[in-house]
Chain A
C-alpha cells in the first residue's frame, strides 16, 4: 500500500527494475490506456485530481526510464527504494510471469494494449527511444531501408497501396514488439485524411 507519490517509477509502470525498453514501452502503453479519462476499468474509482496525479506520474516514469542517462541517475538516487521493491517482487515474479504467459495463451485471441494507434512518426520515435537502428529493423523484417524510411516519414505518395503496405507495417510493428493492428489502423486513418485509397 503505497501512495502514488511514494511509488518508484518502476512501480508506477508495474515493471521490474531490470525491464528492458520494449517492456517499458508496452507497460507505458498499457498504463496510458488504463488511466485514460474514458477507460472503463477505472470507472467510479478515481477523482479527477487523482487521475491527473497518476497520469503525470506515468508520463514522468516513462520519460525517465526510456532515457539511459536519466534512468541511471534515477537508479542511483533511488537505489534504496528500488532494491527493496525488487526484492519484494522477486518472490511473486516467477508466479507473475507464468500468469502473464498463460493469460496470453487463453485462446487464439491475442492480448492487445488498448486504443492508441501508431503512425510512421510515432514509430520512428519509439524506435529511436529503443535505440534500434533502421538497419537492424531491415535485417529482421527483410524490408528494404528505403521503404522503412517512407513508412516512418508517412510518405503516402511514394508508398505502395494499403493492400501491399499492410504486410510491411505488420512486420515493422512486430519488430518493435508493438501491436501491428494499431499501426495498420493508424495508417488507414492517414490514408483517409489524405483522401487517398
Chain B
C-alpha cells in the first residue's frame, strides 16, 4: 500500500432499501481493507438505525461525533473508537452531521474537513437507507458512491429512486441559472406540470431556456459513475442482473454505472451477525466472505490506479 501521497479515499454506501446489506458490507469491506494493511475508519451515518458497532461486536455507547460537536472533546480523533481489529476504527454519531440544518452548512463543511484530515487511507461511510438531501450530498461529495441492491423489484425500485434523486441533485448543483434549477426541482416531482418524466426530457427543456446549462448537464452525466454491489444473489441468473442494471442506467440516465461485484446469499452471514462477529473474521472461507474480499481488493486497486483521475 502506498502511503506517501497520503490521499484518503472516502466511499459512501447507501441507496437501496432497508436490509439490503449496506451495514454488513461496510463493516466487512472495511475489515478486508485493514487486513490488506490500510488504515480504515468506518463512519456510521445511518439516520435511523446506527448499528455498525453491533456488526463489530462493540458495546455502545462510546464516544461519538456529538461529543466533538458539543466541544466535550477538542480533537476529532479522540472520539474514534478502537474496534479490536488492527488498523480499523469506528466513528459513530455521524447522523448529527447529516441532520445539521442548512443554516449550519458552514459547520457541516468544517466537520467534513475535520473528518478528511483524520489519519487514514480509507473512510467508509454507511449512509443507511434514506434519501434525505444531506444523504444525497454526502453520496455525491465522496470519492465513490456505492449502491447496494438485491435482486428484488422493491430493492431495484428504491435504488432507481435514490439514483434519480442523486443524479438530479448533481445536475442542480452544476447548472447556474435559476430557471434551470427550478426546472430540475420540478422534474423531481413525478407529477410535474411540465410533463418531464425522463432525464432526456429534462435536458430538452433546459436546452430550450439555457444552452450553456444544458451542456453542463451533459458533462455531469458523462462524469457521474456510481458503483453497484449486487447482494444476496441466489443464482447464476441473478449475477447477470448487475450487468442489466448497468445497461438500463446507460439507456435511462445516460450514465456509466460501475458494477463492482456481487455477494451470494449465504446463511453464514446471518450466523456471524447473531454471534456479533464479522463474517470475514469468523468464517473467511464462506462464500459470502470470499465475494466481499474480492470486492474489497477491487476497491483497493481501483483507487491506486488512476493517480491522474
Interface pair A45/B252, CB less than 8 Å apart: yes
* A interface footprint on B236-267 (CB within 8 Å = 1, 0 otherwise): 11011101110110111110101101101000
Q: Decide if A103 touches B261 in the complex (CB within 8 Å).
A: yes
| A115 contact set on B, CB distance < 8 A | 237
Contact between B153 and A44, CB atoms less than 8 A apart: yes
Give a binary string over B206-219; 1 marks a CB under 8 Å from any A CB, 0 the rest: 00000000000110
> On chain A, which size bracket covers the interface?
20 to 34
Question: Which residues of chain B come closer than 8 Å to A42, judged between CB atoms?
Answer: 244, 248
Q: B-facing mask of A70-110, CB < 8 A → 1, else 0?
A: 00000000000000000000001000000100110011011
| In contact, B298 and A43 (Cβ under 8 angstroms) | no
Specify which of A2, A34, A50, A103 is in contact with B244 (CB 8 Å cutoff): A34
Number of interface residues of B (CB under 8 A): 42
Q: Is A110 in contact with B200, judged by CB distance below 8 angstroms?
A: no
CA separation between A35 and B294, bound complex, in Å? 29
Chain A CB within 10 Å, residue with most, of B237, B241, B248, B252: B248
A179 CA to B244 CA, complexed, in Å:
17
Residues of B near A14 (CB, < 8 A) are: 247, 250
A92–B256 alpha-carbon span in the complex (Å): 10
Question: B252 — which chain A residues lie within 8 A by C-beta?
Answer: 45-46
Nearest CB of A to B112, in Å:
29
Query: Which chain B residue has the least Cβ–Cβ distance from A102?
Result: B298
B221 close to A34 (CB less than 8 A): no
Q: Are A1 and B200 in contact (CB under 8 A)?
A: yes
Chain A, residue nearest B305 (CB) = A95
Q: Is the CB of B244 within 8 A of A112?
A: no
Tell me if A30 is interfacial: C-beta within 8 Å of chain B: yes
B199 within 8 A of A: yes
Determine which of B197, B244, B259 lies in contact with A30 in the assembled complex, contact meaning CB atoms within 8 Å.
B244
- Whether A192 sits at the interface, judged by CB under 8 Å, is no
Across chains A and B, which 7 residue pairs bring their CB atoms closest together, nearest first? A41-B244, A1-B254, A34-B244, A44-B157, A1-B221, A41-B245, A43-B153
Known pairs A40-B156, A50-B198, A107-B291 / 12 extra A-B pairs, C-beta < 8 Å: A1-B217, A1-B218, A31-B247, A34-B243, A45-B248, A54-B251, A103-B261, A106-B239, A109-B264, A110-B236, A112-B239, A115-B237
What are 21 A-B residue pairs whose CB atoms fall within 8 Å in the complex? A1-B217, A30-B243, A33-B240, A34-B248, A35-B248, A40-B156, A41-B241, A41-B245, A42-B244, A43-B156, A44-B160, A45-B252, A46-B251, A46-B252, A92-B256, A99-B258, A109-B239, A109-B264, A111-B239, A114-B240, A115-B237
